[in-house]
Copies of this chain bind each other. A is one copy, B any other.
Amino acid sequence: MHTLNATLQYLRGIFRTPARACKDAPVSSRLKDVAARAGVSIRTVSNVVSGSAGVAEETRARVQRVLDEMGYRPNQAARNLRGGRTGLIGLAIPELHSPYFAEIAGLVVEAAAQRSWTVVIDQTHGDPGAERRLLEGTGGRLVDGLIISPWSIGPEELTERARVPLVLLGERAAQGLADHVAVDNTLAAEEATAHLLAAGRRRVAAIGLQPHLGNGTASQRLTGYRNALRKAGIAPDPALEKAVTALHRGDGADAMAALLRDDARPDAVFAFTDELALGALHSAGASGLRVPQDLALVGFDGIEDARYANPALTTVVPDKRQIAERALQCLADRVYSPTTAVPPLDIVVPHSLEVRASSGGAS
């Protein structure tokens, strides 16, 4: 039996052609192969690879040479199985082609790399079914943890379904249910609106309500908007509050067009996202309105496009780098020390209002 196995092993060694997937890639060698060639045990090779102490300098040098010769690469799958962790985290966002999420994703990938984590990106397209499937699929077993920017599913169901540690992005309605990282949406929206009011505008419209969603971001921004109006002694006017189905530029353009068509006569617009604002800007220009003279405009997200718009767009800028980093820190804590004792964190990251030409500020 043992002899047979040994023989098979030998033959396998000879006829090995499995993952030789590309031109001159050397056949991948295992610890066993290296050990055999170097005349040491697997254990020693493993120690050398992982840089563990307790290997004689001479041995380590010899082994290392063989390692290089044979072009050894550790098999990640085996490590994962053995270690019970994959080194992968999931990032679930509505859409990668949305500039805000693309920027966030880029920062998360970067911050993850610093922690030797690799990021798997999933797009939910704001579809509840996709969000659920994700929690049980990717989030089921493949990844060590999941950073999710929820859209249609509320925090209760999210935490209920998740099978790995979860960090919520841009969701502050989740108090006590799961870790979440976000700006103070209400406050930021209030500041943005107050900025327009301070410039003397009186009919400030809001674009971006999403009354049908479980996601609380839009309603928080709406609250902030109304708060600012009330503090200025202005009663919110439903005709100035425009709902959208999605957050693309086209939706902003449509909402702006509707405002003008309805004769709501806004003299300013606070759009809940920069994309909506850019759409509104386009629409306003097409209608012959001058920005900011006839219409002042403020967006939210601080995407790069805003800076180069014509005119440059005033926007609320969340500290995205901090969002990414704190979300990762959070996740790392949960993954590496799964103490249920620590209560869910409510992390608020700073934001600032970047005043540009669209609201009458400097170019």
Interchain CA distance A310-B312 in the complex, whole Å: 11
A84 at the interface (CB under 8 A from B): yes
Inter-chain contacts of A81 with B (CB < 8 A): 75, 77-78, 80-81
Chain B residues near A88: list those with CB within 8 A.
Answer: 120
Q: Which of A14-22, A181-189, A214-222, A238-246 lies on the face that meets chain B?
A: A14-22
> Quick one: which of A25, A84, A166 has the most chain B CB within 10 A?
A25
Question: By the criterion CB–CB under 8 Å, are A96 and B86 in contact?
Answer: no
Which of B74, B285, B308 interacts with A279 by CB under 8 Å? B308
Taking the closest CB of chain B, its distance from the CB of A133, in whole angstroms, is 10
Select which of B75, B164, B305 is within 8 A of A21 by beta carbon.
B164
A106 to chain B: closest residue by CB: B96
A164 touches B308 (CB 8 A): no
Partner of A97, one of B159, B304, B308: B304
Expressed in whole angstroms, the minimum distance between the Cβ of A272 and any Cβ of chain B is 17
CA distance A28 to B141 in the complex (A): 9
- How far is it, in angstroms, between the C-alpha of A249 and the C-alpha of B304 when the chains are bound? 9
Bound CA span A73–B310, Å: 52
Q: Given A76-B142, A81-B81, 20 more contacts at CB 8 Å?
A: A21-B163, A21-B164, A21-B165, A22-B159, A23-B340, A25-B162, A28-B141, A28-B163, A73-B141, A76-B86, A80-B80, A88-B120, A118-B120, A120-B120, A278-B305, A279-B308, A282-B309, A285-B310, A286-B363, A305-B305
By a CB distance below 8 angstroms, the chain B residues around A106 are 95-97, 123
Q: What number of A residues sit within 8 Å (CB to CB) of B?
A: 71
A338 interface hit (Cβ, 8 Å): yes
Question: How many copies of the polypeptide does the oligomer hold?
Answer: 2
Q: CB-CB contacts of A157-175 with B at 8 A, as 1s and 0s?
A: 0011011111000000000
Q: Given the known A-B contacts A77-B86, A81-B77, A164-B22, are A99 and B96 also in contact in the complex, defined by CB atoms under 8 Å?
A: no
Chain B residues lying within 8 Å of A105, measured Cβ to Cβ, are: 96, 102, 121
| Residues on B with beta carbons closer than 8 Å to the beta carbon of A338 | 20-21
Inter-chain contacts of A18 with B (CB < 8 A): 84
Q: How far is the CB of A260 from chain B (nearest CB, A)?
A: 16
Given A102-B96, A310-B309, are A21 and B304 neighbors across the interface (CB < 8 Å)?
A: no
- Measured between alpha carbons, how far is A308 from B249 in the docked complex, in Å? 7
Contact between B142 and A118, CB atoms less than 8 A apart:
yes
A136 to B59, alpha carbons, bound, how many Å?
A: 25
B-chain residues with CB within 8 Å of residue A308 when the two chains form the complex? 249, 253, 278-279, 281-282
Does A149 reach chain B (CB closer than 8 Å)?
Answer: no
